[in-house]
């Protein structure tokens, strides 16, 4: 039976503020240190420890390797009689999932291009460290008050081996992520039949091809420079 920590209780000297989320694999808390600095605590569920062992290993190893404000710092692990897990730096901002689902923010094409360029910068840092994230989705990307992006949740991230784990996995996720942003300005008419995204969305032919290449519907991109070049061309044609 998993222990659920209440506000005020402590884990490794960190005081629990609130429970943020609960999933199949664990429980996520917001916590504070003695200096009132915020942290994220991920408590792994006991019945899933075997399955989460690999996730924890890569979350620790890869985040320790990455030294950038684009990613949370791995602060440490805890192994208590009634709870196991790890502690991460708290990253201020709002996850895109909330922006899309709760706030109903409609992203302009200018904003989408700006976000895409910033995501390419993040992917470039990952590739420089031989890492593929494999989970670039709205719940795992944070938008800060200064309009910077932060990528979180490295449980599925792996070292690139050019066999099972390849760079273009993150290109696919980037394409899917951008389509979510395009859909914020789409009006759903319940009387119409559902169509493919490239027919429903208000896209130029170049935008369609760009997204289709990211998603490997058309000839897939190989290098980031090619993606960046095509994105720059899209941006210039829009201005």
Q: Does the pLDDT of residue 136 top 90, yes or no?
A: yes
Residue 74 and residue 160 share a domain: no
Its pTM surpasses 0.95: no
Residue 146 and residue 64 share a domain: no
What's the token pair of residue 8? 């005020």
Whether the Cβ atoms of residue 199 and residue 166 lie closer than 8 Å to each other: no
What's the token pair of residue 88? 């991460």
Q: Give the pLDDT of residue 15.
A: 98
Number of domains in the chain: 2
Percent pLDDT > 90 in the chain is 80
Using CA atoms, how far residue 239 sits from 109, 120, 182, 231, 235, in Å, is 10, 20, 17, 13, 6
121, 135, 176, 230: which is the annotated catalytic residue? 135
Residue 2 is assigned to a structural domain of this protein: no
Q: Is 225 an annotated catalytic residue?
A: no
- CATH number of the domain bearing residue 35: 3.30.200.20
Residue 40 is assigned to a structural domain of this protein: yes
Using CA atoms, how far residue 35 sits from 30, 39, 55, 225, in Å, is 15, 11, 29, 43
Q: Give the pLDDT of residue 190.
A: 73
Whether the Cβ atoms of residue 93 and residue 142 lie closer than 8 Å to each other: yes
Cα 178 to the chain's mean position, in Å?
12
Whether the Cβ atoms of residue 132 and residue 166 lie closer than 8 Å to each other: yes
Residue 48 and residue 116 share a domain: no
Burial class (CB in 10 A: 0-12, 13-18, 19+), 28: middle
Residue 140 and residue 63 share a domain: no
> Which residue, 63, 89, 115, sits at the end of a domain?
89
**Which residues are 85's β-sheet partners?**
43, 78
Residue 107 is assigned to a structural domain of this protein: yes
Residue 104 and residue 26 share a domain: no
Q: Give the pLDDT of residue 33.
A: 96
Q: Domain containing 133: what range?
A: 94-238
What's the token pair of residue 87? 């502690």
Residue 62 is assigned to a structural domain of this protein: yes
- CATH number of the domain bearing residue 214: 1.10.510.10
**Torsional class of 116: left (φ above 0), alpha (ψ -120 to 50), beta (otherwise):** alpha
> Which residue, 66, 89, 112, sits at the end of a domain?
89
Tens-digit pLDDT profile for residues 21-64 = 998 888 999 999 999 999 999 999 888 777 778 888 899 999 99
> Which residue, 89, 109, 132, sits at the end of a domain?
89
Q: Mean pLDDT in the chain? A: 93
Q: For the sheet containing 149-151, what is the strand order?
A: 94-95, 141-143, 149-151
Q: Give the pLDDT of residue 228.
A: 98
CA angle 146, 74, 93 (to 5 degrees): 20
Residue 232 and residue 122 share a domain: yes
Q: Taking every pair of C-alpha atoms in the chain, what is the biggest distance, in angstroms?
A: 60
Residue 70 and residue 107 share a domain: no
Tens-digit pLDDT profile for residues 154-198 = 989 999 999 999 999 999 999 999 999 999 988 777 777 888 999
Using CA atoms, how far residue 136 sits from 37, 152, 221, in Å, is 27, 9, 17
Residue 172 is assigned to a structural domain of this protein: yes
Residue 139 and residue 32 share a domain: no
Q: Does the pLDDT of residue 238 top 90, yes or no?
A: no
Residue 231 and residue 118 share a domain: yes
Q: Give the pLDDT of residue 215.
A: 98
Residue 3 is assigned to a structural domain of this protein: no
Residue 132 and residue 50 share a domain: no
Residue 205 and residue 145 share a domain: yes
Residue 1 is assigned to a structural domain of this protein: no
Residue 4 is assigned to a structural domain of this protein: no
Handedness of CA 105, 180, 131, 30 (dihedral sign): positive
Q: What are phi and psi of 96, to 5 degrees?
A: -60, -30
Residue 44 and residue 149 share a domain: no
């Amino acid at each position: 039976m998993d222990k659920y920590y209440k506000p005020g209780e402590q884990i490794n000297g960190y005081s629990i503020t609130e429970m943020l989320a609960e999933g199949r694999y664990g429980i996520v808390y917001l916590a504070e240190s003695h200096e009132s600095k915020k942290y994220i605590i991920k408590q792994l569920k006991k019945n899933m420890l075997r399955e989460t062992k690999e996730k924890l290993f890569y979350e620790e190893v890869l985040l320790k390797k990455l030294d950038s404000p684009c990613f949370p710092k791995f602060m440490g692990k805890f192994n208590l009689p009634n709870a196991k897990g790890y502690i991460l730096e708290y990253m201020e901002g709002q996850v895109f999932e909330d922006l899309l689902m709760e706030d109903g923010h409609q992203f302009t094409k200018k904003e989408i291009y700006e976000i895409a360029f910033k995501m390419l910068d993040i992917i470039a840092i990952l590739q420089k460290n031989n890492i593929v994230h494999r989970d670039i989705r709205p719940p795992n990307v944070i938008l800060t008050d200064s309009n910077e992006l932060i990528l979180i949740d490295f449980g599925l991230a792996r070292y690139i081996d050019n066999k099972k784990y390849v760079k273009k996995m993150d290109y696919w996720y980037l394409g899917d992520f951008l389509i979510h942003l395009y859909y914020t300005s789409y009006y759903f008419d319940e009387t119409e039949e559902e169509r493919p995204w490239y027919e429903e969305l208000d896209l130029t032919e170049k935008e369609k091809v760009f997204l289709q290449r990211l998603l490997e519907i058309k000839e897939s991109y190989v290098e980031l420079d090619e993606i960046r070049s095509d994105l720059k061309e899209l941006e210039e044609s829009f201005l």
